[in-house]
Amino acid sequence: MNIKKNYLIVLTLTALLFVFTTGTVLGFEFQQRSQLYGTRAFGMGGAYTAVADDASAVYWNPAGLTRSGPLGLMASFGLEDQMIDDDDFMNDFADLLEKLYDEDSNEAFIEEFMEKYDFERQELDVMLNLNLGSFALSVLGTQAIDQVDENTLESELLSQGILSAARNIRGDSAAIGVNLKGLIGNYNNAAINTNNYYRADGRGYSYDIGGLFNLTDWWRLGVMVRNIDSSIDWEWKEDDNYAGANEEVELFDALERTVTLGTAIDLPLETLLALDVELDGDFNPSYRAGIENSLFGLFSLRGGVYGEDEDQVITYGLGLRLLMFQVDYAMDRESDFHKVTAQISF
């Protein structure tokens, strides 16, 4: 294998992809940890661009579907620590979402919820993936609830339906993959002190492209350009229960465009080391690093870090694999955000 040629491919592709990375995100956006879909990736701090080899590749790097096996089914769920420790909170949280998405607002329930619980933000995310060889169909969703102040509650939902495809190029030394994404968003703002309710529904699209390159038997590079083109149109609801457009709220009109460069190195004793560098639309870098050690091909221990400077978040994870079945768990030390994934692959 000619390593110099591989370097040239990576640098050329990266230069071309940077041309597309302009644009910004307006209004509210989800905290970074909610975008770390997939438990194995979360346990490794999100350093997964050059690792992606399972159904979660649809998020991290669709080119990885070429290494995900002929068939795979994955379900992932992530939630805050308070949702686990307090049974009442989980039930009340579910009831709150039902009230917020109901046509008839329930001010009494919302006010009772805010009086009962004291938090700044709660989030949960869900990922469902089905991959058939180098093709995949996925659903990703993140729901967040913010207590803006003692009288105002804000709800944000972003769902993505993703159709992915990948293929090998230059034998098995390189692969390329694409995502086509349909987006559904929902925003709710309930100000119970003024009895004002605002709600907006959004629809849109986005697409990604990714590449994987095997430089040697133990060294891989990955490139991911997320949201090359993206657009979301919002429509404010206005009737007897909602006040219509809130001029103080500026909702994002596109998902952020980013470029991520990743590397993964296979070390002795079944150890994997990975590093990602992500550039946002303004070319501001953020870093993700992770490590994984497998024991006898059955147990995996993981650790990672992501974020910037004082906002760095440390993650931990473990996995258990029995034949075609695998269960993974991960959490971060900062906010006790937990993730669990069950998957079957052939």
Residue ranges per domain, the chain? 3-345
14-28: b (≥16 Cβ within 10 Å) or e: eeebeeebebebeee
- Using CA atoms, how far residue 62 sits from 52, 141, 159, 293, 328, in Å, is 8, 18, 18, 24, 21
Regarding the domain delimited by 3-345, which CATH topology (the fold level of the hierarchy) does it fall under? Porin (2.40.160)
CA distance 297 to 299: 6
CA distance 151 to 164: 42
The Cα angle at residue 158 between residues 205 and 222, in degrees rounded to 5: 65
Which residue in 128, 126, 144, 127 sits closest to 30, CA to CA? 144
Per-residue pLDDT tens listing for the chain (346 residues): 444 444 444 443 443 333 333 333 333 444 444 567 889 999 999 999 999 998 899 999 999 999 888 888 999 988 887 777 777 888 888 888 777 776 665 677 887 888 888 878 888 889 999 999 899 999 999 888 888 887 888 888 899 999 999 999 988 899 999 999 999 999 988 887 777 888 899 999 999 999 999 999 999 999 999 999 999 999 998 877 788 888 778 888 999 899 999 999 999 999 999 999 999 888 889 899 999 999 988 999 999 999 876 778 899 999 999 988 999 999 987 778 899 999 998 7
Model confidence, pTM: 0.85
**Antiparallel, parallel or unpaired: β 313-322 and 258-267:** unpaired
